[in-house]
Amino acid sequence: MGLTALLCASASLLAVCMLGLWLLSLALRNASIVDIFWGLGFALVAVLGFFWSDSGAAPRSALIGGMVVVWGLRLSGYLLWRNAGHGEDARYAAMRRDWGARFGWVSLATVFALQGVILWIVSLPVQIVQGAPGGPLGVLDGIGVAIWLLGLGFESVGDAQLARFKADPRNAGKVMDRGLWRTTRHPNYFGDFCVWWGVFVVALSAPYGVFTLGSPVLMSFLLLRVSGVPLLERSLRERRPDYAAYAQRTSAFFPRPPRSRT
DSSP 165-231: HHHSGGGTT----SGGGGT-S-HHHHHHHHHHHHHHHHHTTSTTGGGGTHHHHHHHHHHHHSTTHHH
Q: What is the rounded average pLDDT of the residues 6-28? A: 97
Q: Residue 86: its pLDDT value, please?
A: 87
Q: Which of 152, 178, 175 is nearest to 232 (CA)?
A: 175
- pLDDT band at 1; cut points 50, 70, 90: low
Average pLDDT, the chain: 94
| Residue 176: domain span | 3-249
Q: Is residue 106 part of a domain?
A: yes
Q: Does the predicted TM-score (pTM) go above 0.85? A: yes
Number of domains in the chain: 1
Q: Residue 84: its pLDDT value, please?
A: 86
Q: Residue 202: its pLDDT value, please?
A: 98
- Per-residue CA distances from 249 to 85, 181, 234, 261, 262 (Å): 34, 11, 17, 7, 10
Angle, in degrees to the nearest 10, between helices 187-203 and 139-167: 160
Q: Is residue 158 part of a domain?
A: yes
| First-to-last C-alpha distance (Å) of the chain | 62
Residue type, 170: R
pLDDT at 36 over 60: yes
pLDDT at 262 over 70: no
Looking at per-residue pLDDT, the higher value among 227 and 102 belongs to 102
Report the distance separating Cα 54 and Cα 104, nearest Å. 40
159-185, pLDDT tens digit by residue?
Answer: 999 999 999 999 998 999 999 999 999
